[in-house]
Amino acid sequence: MRLLALFALEVLMTATLDAATTLDQRIDDAAKKVEAKVIACRRDIHEHPELGNRETRTSKIIADRLRELGIEVKTPIAHTGVIGILHGGKPGRVVALRADMDALPVVEQVDVPFKSTVRTTFNGHDVGVMHACGHDAHVAILLGVAEVLSDIRAEIPGTVKFLFQPAEEGAPEGEEGGAKLMVKEGALDNPKVDAVFGLHVTSRYPVGEIAYRSGSMMAAVDSFKITVHGKQTHGAYPWLGVDPIVIAAQIVLGLQTIPSRQVDSSLAPSIVTVGAIHGGVRNNIIPDDVEMIGTIRSLDAKMRDEIHARIKRTAEDIARSGGGTATVSIEEGYPITYNDPAITEQMAPTLRRIAGPSNVEVVNATLGAEDFSFFQQKVPGLFFWLGTRPKNQTAEQAASNHSPLFYVDESGLELGVRAMAHVAVDYLKTR
């Protein structure tokens, strides 16, 4: 009797293992079959890029395709966003997969048959438009994932939500947008999401590689404006006024001591960058005011608040020492992109399995920023890099994201489809 029980258990375990293997293989086979569609979709979207909150053509393509696959569609959300809901054949949790849709105000310089020649108006300026950050690849990959998972929906233990998000690069002036607005409008509710996953193509890693890290992966990003108020006078008689240009120069140098001397740089790196200074109209007039704007990047929430306070104190005190005053305003942008340690540990074996252990790298955090972080503030999630750099180029040779020369090696898109499909299914299968 005992032998019969052991035999029955062995048969059950073998059947379960075979079923898992079969499901994994079906995902891989389906990803290979949709590869050509994914590439064609990416090229179409690349040739017709749209800026944030204006992705009307892109969102229609997405919604139409999801409906063709028998996936429930909710749109619009956050202006032009699209949500797809795929109900699995078995009860379970809810996982969300995200792709951003918007392009950048960049004139493309890559010589490809599907090169963008689109021009539009952005914040009152005539600009070229290009998918210089790879969001076209993200959309195409996630539509490929939707097709792959729709074919195995009967075996999915739970629900998959596809989040196609507008305006990751920022909304036009005076508008809300992006992941923050999607969350505000209920993208993670009805049904309530338990975990969220996302990827980003990059030229920092070659085709075939995936990179990630647990905890803080990308920085919080904030912007600041400092207006230095002096006293206008003739350039020949500076002692009769207060020179805000000299004060501004001292403030720029003072701000650099914040990340290098005033916060614990061994805890996490940070950056304070002044990106523009405006003041004066003639070479012989000391102006009343100088305005400077810049960016703050940080990887620790407590340090973020501390840097904000130190910027205000530094600017105000230096201005006062020169006989002027300074007005400081800081606008919070995206939070830290924080990979939940438990989910990261849970899904790391999946990434290694599909890409191969030697092709998955744990990397340092970056001071770039991502509004995927707004989803992670509400539910635990994992965000990872997908290498799309041609293998015959080094990271130094390849144009970076946001460059007019940014190039995606499309042979890496299939791995993106497999990665997102497998992490979704493996998460749902794990209790």
Contacts of 160 (CB under 8 A, 6+ apart): 85, 86, 88, 94, 95, 96, 97, 149, 424, 428
| Residue 93, helix vs strand vs coil | strand
Among candidate residues 429, 216, 428, 238, the one with its CA nearest the CA of residue 340: 216
DSSP structural state of residue 104: B
Among candidate residues 58, 38, 23, the one with its CA nearest the CA of residue 415: 38
* Dihedral sign computed on CA atoms, order 259, 263, 269, 270: negative
CB atoms within 10 A of CB 271: 17
Among candidate residues 211, 192, 214, 215, the one with its CA nearest the CA of residue 203: 211
CB contact at 8 A, 229 and 327: yes
21 alpha carbon, distance to own chain's centre: 32
Enter the tokens of residue 129. 């438009």
Provide the annotated active-site residues: 334, 410
- Dihedral of the CA atoms 41, 42, 45, 50 (nearest 10)? 140
